[in-house]
Amino acid sequence: MLFFACKPAATIVTSKEVAVKKGLYSEPKPLTVTETKSLEKKKKNTNTVSTSKSVTAETKSAKRAIVDNQNESDIIIDDENTSYLIRQLINSASENLGVGYRGGGTTKDGFDCSGLIYSTFKKFDITLPRSSHEMATIGTKIDLKSAQKGDLIFFINRGQRRINHVGMVVEVTDEEVKFIHSSTQSGVIISSTKEPYYNRTFVQLNRVL
């Protein structure tokens, strides 16, 4: 079961209009003349695919630039089926990439693993339990093969007997699941279940949205 703040459900940001009003989203600037010419040049130089495929690829590229207005460190969201809320959660968490680890931290001064997830969801008026092992008790457990963006992924590290680490899924392929989290050594980073350490310590995956 998902725990919400004691506020009306309407305060949860599920549309771009609401996000703009809350100051969580700014309308991106249109493509510059240089960017437009660059896309046209790439289109003309594409000889390895058919014309129709080339147009589609360039259209998607232009659409990402217009819709997402992302920074270099942002995660590109291509899946049109991913809900707007989940896209915003991922983008919000990604703004903290590079921030250092801090036990009990929930701000850009430093995050612990659950602090990053807690503060990211809290920004959208969704209140999760504060600790990783308590977060693991909410939502629905999902098989790793069925992982989707926005799912919470849990681990047991350092010989502990209960869950003590959490991240949020940001990308899923046939071979791996990538997640954003705050590690004690590197701070906020994106890791993969293909990495031996996380493959070995993975425990469960929960869907809370």
- pLDDT value at position 98? 97
Of residues 109 and 78, which shows the higher confidence score? 109
Helix (H) or strand (E) holding 55: helix 51-68
**The residue type at 125:** D
Q: Model confidence at 84, in pLDDT bands (50, 70, 90)? A: confident
Tell whether the model's pLDDT for residue 197 goes beyond 60: yes
Quote the percentage of the chain above a pLDDT of 90.
Answer: 56
Among residues 181, 191, 198, 206, the one annotated as catalytic is 181
Is position 181 annotated as part of the catalytic site? yes
Is residue 6 flagged as an active site residue?
no
Q: Provide the percentage of residues in the chain whose pLDDT is more than 70.
A: 61
pLDDT surpassing 50 at residue 133: yes
For residue 24, pLDDT beyond 80: no
Q: Tell which wins on pLDDT, 160 or 19.
A: 160
113 among known catalytic residues: yes
Burial class for 143, CB neighbours closer than 10 Å (0-12, 13-18, 19+): exposed
Higher pLDDT, 70 or 121: 121
Higher-confidence position of 190 and 56: 190
The answer to whether the beta carbons of residues 43 and 166 sit under 8 Å apart is no
Catalytic residue among 132, 165, 179, 208: 165
Judged against a pLDDT cut of 90, whether residue 12 lies above it is answered with no
Average pLDDT over residues 82-108: 94
- pLDDT score, position 101: 98
Select which of 113, 126, 172, 205 is catalytic: 113
Q: What would the mean pLDDT of 115-119 be, rounded to a whole number?
A: 98
Please, what is the end-to-end C-alpha distance for the chain in angstroms? 10
Say which amino acid occupies 123.
Answer: K
Q: Residue 91 above 80 pLDDT?
A: yes
Q: What is the pLDDT of residues 54-74, one digit of tens each?
A: 434 443 443 333 334 445 544
In terms of Cα–Cα distance, which of 122, 97, 124, 123 is closest to 108? 97
* Predicted model pTM: 0.64
Q: Quick one: pLDDT at residue 107?
A: 97
Inform me whether the pLDDT recorded for 110 exceeds 90. yes
Residue 92 CA, distance from chain mean position: 7
Say what the pLDDT of residue 159 is: 79
